[in-house]
Structure 1
Amino acid sequence: MMDEAIVEAVRGCAGAGGLPAPATPGAVTEAEEIIGFPLPPLLRRLYLEVANGGFGPAEGILGVRGGACQGAWNDLAEIYQDGPDPSGQIPAGLVPVYDWGCTIWSLVDFRDPAGPMWCTHQGHHWPQGINLAEWLSATIEGALTVKGILDTEPAC
């Protein structure tokens, strides 16, 4: 799916009343300042035009301030500051967006506008080989599972 198709698919879910309202520009700017990197353009567009998180797999990804939360985490900036990686080994700019459970997180690389996806689990992190648009497309199509995420982990 191309970015426009992803936006329209998420907009369809938002229209059904299942997603939070779009983020405010101030909340997006605040998250970018705390994280130290701009949001990838597709994610920024989804937050500002469609919904402040809640889209993606199951209960959806985290929003920025005032948006969808996940478990004890209220927003992207909060989790980026406190993080699911107590070892501190995840490089700056990799932002956790979705908790699969059992300490498995999907992360977006904010250092690259395409938003390459990464995974972290049990102190390891690795690239998924897909970008945010492909990750969201796979979740919309129901083709992305935690098993698929873990199957990308390189052998140690």
Structure 2
Amino acid sequence: MAPALLPVCHWGCGITSYVDLTDPAHPMWAIDPNPAPLEMREVSLFPQHLGLTEWLRRWAEATLHQPWLLQDETTGQWRAATDAETEAALQEPL
């Protein structure tokens, strides 16, 4: 069954978080249309590594980070950034 995605947060710049209502675990999905080339926009929608319960807990604790799409340096595949990659990117000087 195809996911029924309900938007739960618009982060700006076209980035949105969704919850999958067809799965009892309520996994989170995101869309980040910014980094992928125009001819590969289908990769902009991607599953995240957490469910709605964890997402809401992090939101309430102010530890939730905006989802972002990145291209894996090893495989060249587009995927969601991990928590560690997000933390490292936030620590880099501008």
Give the CA RMSD over aligned residues: 1.5
* Structure richer in strand, relative to its length: 2
1:54-95 CA deviation, whole Å, 9 max, x = no partner?
xxxxxxxxxxxxxxxxxxxxxxxxxxxxxxxxxxxxx54122
What TM-score, normalized to structure 2?
0.59
Query: Unmatched 5+ residue regions in structure 2?
Result: 34-40, 72-77, 79-94
Q: After the TM superposition, which residues 4-153 of structure 1 pair with which residues of structure 2 at under 5 Å, given as runs? A: 92-122=3-33, 123=41, 124-146=44-66, 149-150=67-68, 153=69
Sequence identity (%): 39
1:86-136 CA deviation, whole Å, 9 max, x = no partner?
xxxxx5412212100000000001110221001002141111110000000
What TM-score, normalized to structure 1?
0.37
Query: Unmatched 5+ residue regions in structure 1?
Result: 1-90
* Structure richer in helix, relative to its length: 1
Q: Which runs of 4+ in 1 moved over 3 A?
A: none
